[in-house]
Amino acid sequence: MTFNARGAFAIFTFELMRAFRTFFQSIFAPVLTTSLYFIVFGAAIGGRMTEIDGVSYGAYIIPGLLLLTLLGETTSNASFGIYMPRFTGTIYELLSAPVGVAETLIGFVGAAAAKSLILAAIILVTASFFVDYHIAHPVLALLYIVLVAAAFALFGFALGVWADGFEKLGIVPMLILQPLTFLGGTFYSITMLPEPWRQIALVNPIVYLVNGLRWTFTGKSDVNIWISLGLTLAFLGLCAGVIAWMFKTGWRLRS
């Protein structure tokens, strides 16, 4: 089967437009929540804290707050995007259409990742009103955000196929990703933790994601950035492999 570019674009456009049809939930609410974090932690608490690794506290927490929003929103957008066709039964129209796995993933996953990039841009613009910051490696920061968005869009897609009820769509983002992100150095450096909590924190994979993005912003990191990059690529590959297996076997897609 040849690549169906029109089919992929149709899915991508439909899913991307859903973000604007649900503007307050998809874009306004995450930006408002992140703005409140900046006000409370960046302005109020940050004014009473010293610099961390030579970086003002407000600027130091920007990468963590960015990931806190992106991980949850990207996962939720991608999972909801594929779950609704399964819930309504329109998934069979998709499976019978002349589109393959590549077109489906480009449509659903690409749209979820694109939403995250739009959201990231809005958050960074919003942050400039509260915090004076600059990005040390802007190109690498963009590439890293794209990589993380793609990885968690794939993860969200797999989650949407796995879920058999609306409540399961919120379990992973709310009860796993969000707590791990809060404990992953979003508001602090893990070097500030006493032992054995510092070693325990290194088991948290979100620590490596936060520090990878923080390095692109500030040039500072608590962990080896190559490990951060390697883990992100490995997670992306794992999610892609799981989704390929789901389509090959039809698990929860044809039943």
C-alpha count within 13 angstroms, C-beta hemisphere, residue 160: 25
* Cα–Cα nearest to 22, from 71, 64, 80: 80
pLDDT in tens, 25-57: 778 888 888 888 888 876 667 667 778 888 988
C-alpha count within 13 angstroms, C-beta hemisphere, residue 230: 5
Structure tokens at 162: 């796995």
* Cα–Cα nearest to 76, from 172, 179, 204, 206: 172
pLDDT in tens, 52-71: 888 988 899 999 999 998 99
Whole-number pLDDT of residue 255: 63
Burial class (CB in 10 A: 0-12, 13-18, 19+), 45: middle
Assigned domain for 110 exists: yes
What average pLDDT does range 11-15 have in this prediction? 91
Assigned domain for 254 exists: no
Assigned domain for 255 exists: no
The count of structural domains within the chain is: 1
Whole-number pLDDT of residue 238: 96
Structural domain boundaries, residue 33: 5-249
Assigned domain for 211 exists: yes
Whole-model pTM over 0.75: yes
